[in-house]
Amino acid sequence: MFEIAVADGALNGLFLVFLYSSVGGLACRWLVPRLSSSARILAAVMLAAQIFVIVRSQTIDPATHFERLLWALRLEWNIPTTLAFMQLATVGALGILLGRIAREKPGWNRLYLAAMGLIFLFLSIDEYFKVHEPIEFWYLIYAAAGAVVALVTALVTARSLRQSRIWYVCLLGGLALSAAGGILFERLNRACDSLAFLRFDGCFHLFVWEEASELLGIWLALVAMLGLFSELRPAAPRHTRRVILFLPLIALLMLTMNAMLPGLELPLWAQPAAVEFESDVRLRGFRLDQRGARGERISAWLYLSAKQKRYLWLGYSIHLLDQSSGKSVAGGDAWVDRQHGVWLLGRNHEQVYRQMLAVDMPQKTPANRALWIVLTLWRPQDEEYVEQVIRASDHRLLSDTQVVLGEAVLRKTAAAAPLIKPLADFDNGFALSPVKLPTQALAGESLTLTFGWRANAPGEADWMQFLHFQHQESRGSWAFDQQPLGDRLPTRLWYDGLADSETWTVSLPEDLPAGEYQVFTGLYRLGDQTRLIARDASGNPFTDSAVPLGNLLILNPNSE
């Protein structure tokens, strides 16, 4: 079999020369001269810009990570991505403008042009913000949508005037070339050992072919829209003809405004924070959102600031830790994105970045357990992921690398119905179920009690539950205190509709005097020891806010 050995760089160079000399050369020979003067300038500038960017990306010898990421074709939120966004947004704006001012064209034609403008505007947003990435089998959806657009464009071409058909054919060619890059080459990804009759060592990655095809295809679509716009030259106002030169700059201004959004949102939408990590990365604020029927999805918006060079190769994790055991019940990891960076301002420009990560709790996660929402930053180092040390923090730390953003609880599936006859109603919306008290107990052994609770309002403070034993003869007393549901769910995290119970195991002192005891319970605020008012079924408050549970006979063989 006939084969030619070729290096990766040479193969990319051959492809780029062939692509731009054939497609770009033919377009410049036959199409660009038909454009109006302002349209020719815009077409020439955009083609020159993408050739410069592609050549620069292939010939640069980066001195820093920042410079490499700035020009890399395979990476996002850099110069090549920005150029693609500017071209797509310009095509979209031209389509919408044509749909508005091309009054001599039939209504269906104007509607088509406006629809194509909206499609290209969506593609510009998708190019920069990666809307398609969470969608499974997105390439099938895009391929089907592209086929429909191509079919409609072919029908429009057939029904258009002869002098306009060349521009619709150009638009079809641009769509086909972009689809080849965005779908075909991206899905192929790489070829190993050989490609047709070409042979090379290892694997050859096709991202240069992908990006070059996409960029040139978008440029052809731009030429097509400019051609249709040039046909309206006598009817279009002069200021409208001139404004097209500024469309790419308007798109770039939109990206700059997008970079400013996190800094504007920070004081309006986020909870302030002052957490400083090593490498001078700072958490300036965050927002937490818990949703789902049981609160099973927690989304965290983070507002981090850093110099752009410090933000490279940074990752972050959100984990939900059980407060009792310290174990993680769910978590998520992600690399930071740089879509809010203003790369034109240089590597030392400090920017506020917005990140969002959603964590879904697995179905096996126990309900009604307090969880810490914990943030960790990390970087790759020597084939490991090293957590970033926290230098200073105004929020609670679980370790020198873990900062607590908040708390959460997974609710039970069904909300509890209110108690028909509660033993006690507390003024904060809590209700205590009737308690079955044993008739007697032995000193030095354990007493088991089960307390059932309902919450008809969310908890807003930490309350402790007391259990008091008062000797009926001597009036002496003994007490045992703990949180109503133990440390698994503090009352500050109780939610409206909570229904749960806790079995207490109370170790009675060996020297507890024998005799008849009255047993009381109730709640007091942990901060100031203030008791919470408790009422009986008639609404009357209990004396000293102590709910009587009944009498208990304590036996103590060692007492006299």
Instruction: Report the alpha-carbon distance of residue 165 to residue 185 in Å, rounded.
Output: 29
pLDDT for the residue numbered 202: 45
State residue 355 phi and psi, 5-degree precision.
-120, 150
pLDDT for the residue numbered 63: 79
Per-residue pLDDT of the chain (560 residues; tens, 9 = 90+): 445 544 556 677 788 888 999 999 999 999 999 998 889 999 999 999 999 999 998 888 887 888 888 888 888 888 999 999 999 999 999 999 999 888 888 899 999 999 999 999 999 999 888 887 778 777 788 888 888 999 999 999 999 888 889 999 999 999 999 887 766 665 555 555 555 555 555 444 577 878 888 999 999 999 999 999 888 765 556 666 678 888 999 999 998 898 899 999 999 999 999 999 998 999 999 999 999 988 999 999 999 999 988 898 899 999 999 999 999 999 999 999 888 887 777 888 899 999 999 999 998 898 999 999 999 999 998 889 999 999 999 999 999 999 999 999 999 876 555 566 899 999 999 999 999 999 999 999 999 999 999 999 999 899 999 999 999 989 899 999 999 999 999 999 999 989 999 999 999 999 999 999 999 999 999 989 999 999 998 999 999 999 999 999 999 887 65
Instruction: Report the alpha-carbon distance of residue 342 to residue 104 in Å, rounded.
Output: 42
Residue at 36 is within a domain:
yes
CA proximity to 408, closest of 368, 381, 456: 368
Distances (CA, A) of 303 to 267, 408, 523: 10, 20, 39
Residue at 170 is within a domain:
yes
The CATH code of the domain that includes 532 is 2.60.40.770
What would you measure as the largest C-alpha separation in the chain, in angstroms? 117
Assess whether 285 and 321 both reside in one domain. Answer: yes
The CATH code of the domain that includes 306 is 2.60.40
Which among 256, 287, 309 is the end of a domain? 256
Burial (CB < 10 A; 0-12, 13-18, 19+), residue 306, is buried
Q: What strands, in cross-sheet order, belong to the sheet with 430-432?
A: 499-507, 446-455, 430-432, 424-426, 534-535
Angle at CA of residue 338, ends 333 and 340, nearest 5°: 120
Through-space distance between the first and last CA atoms of the chain, rounded to whole angstroms: 107
Instruction: Report the alpha-carbon distance of residue 489 to residue 181 in Å, rounded.
Output: 54
pLDDT for the residue numbered 45: 95
Assess whether 527 and 483 both reside in one domain. Answer: yes
Residue at 147 is within a domain:
yes
Assess whether 374 and 478 both reside in one domain. Answer: no
Assess whether 379 and 430 both reside in one domain. Answer: no
Which among 409, 443, 458 is the end of a domain? 409
pLDDT for the residue numbered 282: 97
Residue that the structure tokens 């640069």 belong to = 60
User: Is the separation of the CB atoms in 431 and 440 below 8 Å?
Assistant: no
Under DSSP, the state recorded for 399 is: S
Assess whether 104 and 205 both reside in one domain. Answer: yes
Assess whether 403 and 464 both reside in one domain. Answer: no
Assess whether 333 and 230 both reside in one domain. Answer: no
Which of helix, strand or coil describes residue 163? helix
Specify the amino acid at residue 100: R
Assess whether 397 and 438 both reside in one domain. Answer: no
Assess whether 401 and 483 both reside in one domain. Answer: no
Residue at 526 is within a domain:
yes
Residue at 415 is within a domain:
no
Assess whether 378 and 476 both reside in one domain. Answer: no
Q: How far is CA 192 from the centre of its chain?
A: 35
pLDDT for the residue numbered 191: 53
Instruction: Report the alpha-carbon distance of residue 442 to residue 156 in Å, rounded.
Output: 93
Name 396's bridge partners.
Answer: none
Two structure tokens written together for 470? 């008062």
Instruction: Report the alpha-carbon distance of residue 374 to residue 401 in Å, rounded.
Output: 10
Beta-carbon contacts of 82 under 8 Å, excluding residues fewer than 6 positions away, are: 128, 252, 255, 343
Name the domain count of the chain.
3
Assess whether 236 and 287 both reside in one domain. Answer: no
- C-beta neighbour count of 425 within 10 angstroms: 21
pTM of the shown model: 0.83
Two structure tokens written together for 430? 């809590």
Which among 197, 225, 256 is the end of a domain? 256
Specify the amino acid at residue 303: Y
Specify the amino acid at residue 538: S
Beta-carbon contacts of 485 under 8 Å, excluding residues fewer than 6 positions away, are: 368, 453, 491, 500, 502
Residue at 265 is within a domain:
no
What are the start-end ranges of the H helices in 130-206?
138-159, 162-179, 186-188
Specify the amino acid at residue 239: H
User: Is the separation of the CB atoms in 180 and 217 below 8 Å?
Assistant: yes
Instruction: Report the alpha-carbon distance of residue 353 to residue 87 in Å, rounded.
Output: 25
Angle at CA of residue 509, ends 504 and 511, nearest 5°: 160
Per DSSP, the chain holds a count of helices (H) and strands (E) of 12, 23
Domain that residue 361 falls in: 270-409
Residue at 417 is within a domain:
no
User: Is the separation of the CB atoms in 188 and 162 below 8 Å?
Assistant: no
Specify the amino acid at residue 459: G
Residue at 332 is within a domain:
yes
Assess whether 168 and 308 both reside in one domain. Answer: no
